[in-house]
Structure 1
C-alpha cells in the first residue's frame, strides 16, 4: 500500500534550520529525513547532486537554496521551500519594535530587508499598523550573489539611511554582524515549518502514486521488413540481437516483455521506471542503443495510464506519432493527453492533443487543423524562440515531410493566421525558402 511507504526527504539549508525541521518532523512518522546542513548557500548544489536520486522530495530551508537549485539543476523532482512570509515577518517585526533604540519617539522605523517581495512586506506592516519612516527592499533576482545583498545593506547603514537590517539569508546575517551592522535574521516559525512538512508529505504521496501508474511501451523495429537486400539469416541475426538487448533491458527494469509476430515488442512497467530510465522524459538510451549498435530503425511509443487498457491505448497513439515522424524516435503520451517527443531531439515538443481553451479551439476551426496541431505549433514556436519559420524548419521540428509542412503553413496563410514576410536562401542550390510569421497568440 502506498500509504505505508516512507517518504524520503532531503532537507537542505543552514545547520540550525535543518535541525529545527528535523525535530519538527518527528510529528510526521511517514517522513524519513536526510539532513544536509551547510555553512554557506554556495554548498547547495553539491548537496542536491549528492542526494537527488535517492529521495522523493527536496525540501529547502528558505528561498535562496531553493532558487539556486531551480536555476542550476535540471530536476523534475518536487522541490519545496520554507516560506519566510506571514508569521516569520510578524516575529521579526516584533523583535524590531521591542528594541526601542531602533525607532523614534513616534514608533517609526527605518530598515532594509531582502529576498521578499515588497507587496508581501507592506501587507504585513499594514496588518500590524506599524509606522515606517523609511524601508528599502532588495527583492530576489536570478543569479543574485550574497555579497551583493551584503553590500546593499551595508551601504545603506554606513550612509545612515537605515537603523537596522532584516535579512532572510544566513550568510548575509553573519557577515553583517561581523561588520557591526544591527541585523535581524528572518527565520521560519514552528507553525510554518509544520505547515510546510504537511505539504511535503502530500507531495511525496503524489510522487509515489504517480510512480505506480502503469506504463506500456511498444517497440516497432521498422528495418526488418524494409531492407529487401538482406537475407533471411541476416534478418534473424538482427532480431536475435535486438531480442538480447531487450532481455537485458527487461531484466534491468523488471518489466514484462512480449514479442509479437509483427516485429513489435511490448513491455509493461511503471511510470516511475520510465521517468528514471528516460531521465525525466528527456531522452531514451534504449532507442539509441538499438539504432546505433545494430544499425536498424526503430520507433517507440510509451503510454502512461491508470489501467493497462488506458496505457496501451496511449502507447499505440505514441507509436503512431513516432512512425509519422519518419521512425527512429520515441514519443510518450501522458495520462492527461499531453504528448512529449521526439525524446532526445534538440527541439523536443510538449503539447496536448486535448484543449478546452476557447481561443485555441477557435484557431483550430479557423485554420481547418486539429487542436493538437495548433498546440504543437505553439510548442514548436516557443522552443524555436520565434514565430518566424520556414517549411523546412517546421518539417524538421514536427518530424514530417516538407510537403506536409507546406500544407500546414498554406492553411494557416489562407486563414490569415500566417503571412509570408520574407525569403531565406538555402546553403545548397535551390529556390529561396519562404519565411512565414505565425500569428497564433503565442
Structure 2
C-alpha cells in the first residue's frame, strides 16, 4: 500500500479529488489544502516526508516544495495540462467564437512542456506567454506577478482572453471583469501523471529493497591468535552497539578475521549519508582502539554484493578506519572519519582523464584527492601520504616523485634544520 500525500490550493481541491475515481486499490491518498504560502509551508513541514511520495495540484506548490525543502527524499510530481486538454478548448474557441491565437494570454506554456505544441503551428500569430521556463514558478511572489501580467495585457488591449492554471488569481481577474478560462487537468491527464508517478515509486521501492553487503576487515597478523580474537570480539560488540543506537536493520555474521553485514539499500543510504559520509566509519573509529576496513557492496544479487564488498574493503588503508563503496562498476571513496565525500561526476571524470593522460592508477588519484580534502591542504610529505594511503614511506615518496615528474606536484624548498639526518621533503600537489 502506497501512502501518497497530495498538496493543493484550497480552490483546486474539488478537481484534485477526482483522484478518488482513478485510485488503484494499493494507493491511499491524503489531501492537504492550503490557503497561502505560509499555510503551505506548515503543511509541508508536517506531512511532506510522512508518505511514500507527494503529488501537487500544479507547478506553484511543487516548486515551492522543491525550493524550500531541498533535503526531502520522497519522490514528488505535479499535475499539468495535457495537449489533449489544451486543444479541446482551443479548437472550440477558434471555430465557434473566432478568437485569434495572438489575442490570448497563457500562463502555463513553457519550454519544459514543449509550449504544448503551439510554436509548431502558430507562426506569426503566437499567443502571449507568461514565461519561457517553469523556473519562474519558483519565485515566492509568483501569484502577484502572474496576476499583474494578465491585468496589464488586458489594460493595454493586447489580448481578449486569458488562459490560467493559477487558482489563486481567478478571483482577481473576475473582480476586474477580465475574461478568462481556468484550466485544470482532465481525469485522463491525471491518470497519465498518476501512472508515471506510480512507476517512479515502484522503481524506488525495488532499489530500496536491493540487498547491500558490508565487509568489515580486521587488518592484523593472523599468527597472533589472541590479539585477533580480542579485536574480533571488540568489533562485533561495537557493531551491535551501533545497530542498537541507530536502530539499524543489520544482519550481522561473524567470521575469524572479518564481520559481514547484510542490510537494505534504504539503510545503506541512511548510514552513508547518501554516498557522502559513513556514520559507521565514525562510530568504529571512535569506539575501537584499532583500525578496520569497511567495504560496501551493491550489486544485482547477494553473491555479487558480497564480492563487491570484499573488494571494496581491500581498497581501504590499513592504518586508519576507512570505508569504500563499490556499486556495480563504480568505486566511491574513501569514506573517512569526520569528512564529507564530495562525489560528483565532473570531478571523477577529471581524475579519470589524469589517470589516462599520466598513466597513474585512478584509485591512487582518488585517495590522494580525498586525503587533500580531509587535511584541507595541498602540501604533504612522504610520511603524511604514507599514513593516509596505508603504504610505506618509501612507496609514498616514490608516488610524490612521480607526481613531481609529471607536473602534478612541485617540491617546496626545504626548511633549515638543526637536527641530524636528511631534511624532510614537502610537496605541493595540484591535481586541478
Give TM-score, length-normalised by structure 1: 0.69
CA change 1:122–1:209 in 2 (3 A) is: closer
Matched residue SS, 2:320 = coil
Q: Answer yes or no: is the 8 Å Cα contact 2:272–2:279 preserved in 1.
A: yes
Would you say 1:306 and 2:300 are equivalent positions? yes
How many residues are aligned here?
Answer: 408
Correspondence for 2:378: 390
Hey, what's the Cα distance between the residues in 2 that align with 1:87 and 1:409?
64
**In the alignment, does 2:329 pair up with 1:329?**
no
Q: CA deviation at 1:109?
A: 0.7
Deviations 1:283-342 (A, max 9, x none): 444443343355654442221223222111111233233436x53333332245352552
Structure 2 CA distance for aligned equivalents of residues 91 and 323 of structure 1? 65
Q: Distance in 1 between matches of 2:236 and 2:298?
A: 28
The separation in 2 between residues aligned to 1:107 and 1:255, in whole angstroms, is 62
1:315 pairs, out of 309, 313, 327, with: 309
Partner of 1:60: 56
Counterpart contact for 1:92–1:185, Cα < 8 Å = no
Q: Which runs of 5+ in 1 are unaligned?
A: 1-5, 425-429
**TM-aligned CA deviation for residue 205 of structure 1:** 1.5
Quote how far apart the aligned CAs of 1:411 are.
5.9
Deviation at 1:270, TM superposition (A): 2.0
8 Å CA contact 1:10, 1:33 repeated in 2: yes
Kindly indicate whether the alpha-carbon contact (under 8 Å) linking 1:351 and 1:379 is maintained by their aligned counterparts in 2. Answer: no
Task: Tell me how far apart the structure 2 counterparts of residues 68 and 305 of structure 1 sit (CA, whole Å).
Answer: 36
**Partners in 2 of 1:285 and 1:304 — Cα distance?**
18
Q: Which residue of 2 aligns with 1:86?
A: 83
Equivalent residues of 1:214, 1:304 under 8 A apart:
yes
Query: In the TM superposition, what is the alpha-carbon distance from 1:215 to its structure 2 partner?
Result: 1.3
Q: Hey, what's the Cα distance between the residues in 2 that align with 1:44 and 1:59?
A: 13
Aligned equivalents of 1:174, 1:379: Cα separation in 2: 58
State the alpha-carbon separation in 2 of the partners of residues 349 and 75 from structure 1: 19
Contact 1:301-1:317 at 8 Å conserved across structures? yes
Unaligned 5+ residue runs, structure 2?
414-423
Partner of 2:343: 350
Which one has the largest radius of gyration? 2
1:49/1:147 CA distance change after superposition, 3 Å: closer
CA distance in 2, matches of 1:332, 1:34: 38
* CA deviation vs aligned residue, 1:80-125 (integer Å, no higher than 9, x gap): 2333453354356457658959x5xx66414253573388327325
CA distance in 2, matches of 1:308, 1:183: 59
2:255 aligned residue (256, 260, 267): 260
Tell me how far apart the structure 1 counterparts of residues 27 and 116 of structure 2 sit (CA, whole Å).
35
Cα deviation for residue 348 of structure 1 reads 1.0
SS of the residue corresponding to residue 71 of structure 2 reads coil
Q: CA deviation at 1:187?
A: 2.6
Specify the alignment match of 1:10 in structure 2. 5
Once the two structures are TM-superposed, the CA of residue 245 in structure 1 deviates from its matched residue by 1.0
In structure 2, distance between residues paired with 1:148 and 1:238: 58
Cα distance in structure 1, aligned partners of 2:307 and 2:105? 61
Distance change (3 Å), C-alpha of 1:377 and 1:116: farther
Cα distance 1:67–1:119, how it changes in 2: closer, same or farther (>3 A)? Answer: closer
State TM-score, norm by structure 2.
Answer: 0.71
In structure 2, the CA distance between the partners of 1:134 and 1:117, relative to structure 1 (3 Å rule), is same
- 2:357 paired residue number: 366
Distance 1:323 1:108, change over 3 A: same
Structure-2 residue corresponding to 1:209 = 206
Deviation per CA, 1:130-178: give whole Å up to 9, x if none: 9337555363337843425523541563473443444443334455545
SS in 2 for 1:333: strand
2:166 alignment partner, one of 158, 165, 169? 169
Q: CA RMSD in A?
A: 5.1
Q: Which residue of 2 aligns with 1:427?
A: none
The one of 128, 140, 145 equivalent to 1:151 is 145
Partners of 2:188 and 2:45 lie apart in 1 by 29
Q: For the structure 1 residues 197 and 363, does the alpha-carbon distance in structure 2 shift closer, same or farther, using more than 3 Å as the test? A: same
Comparing 166-175 with 201-210, greater Cα deviation is found at 166-175
Worse-matched range after superposition: 405-414 or 128-137:
405-414
1-structure distance, mates of 2:7, 2:242: 39
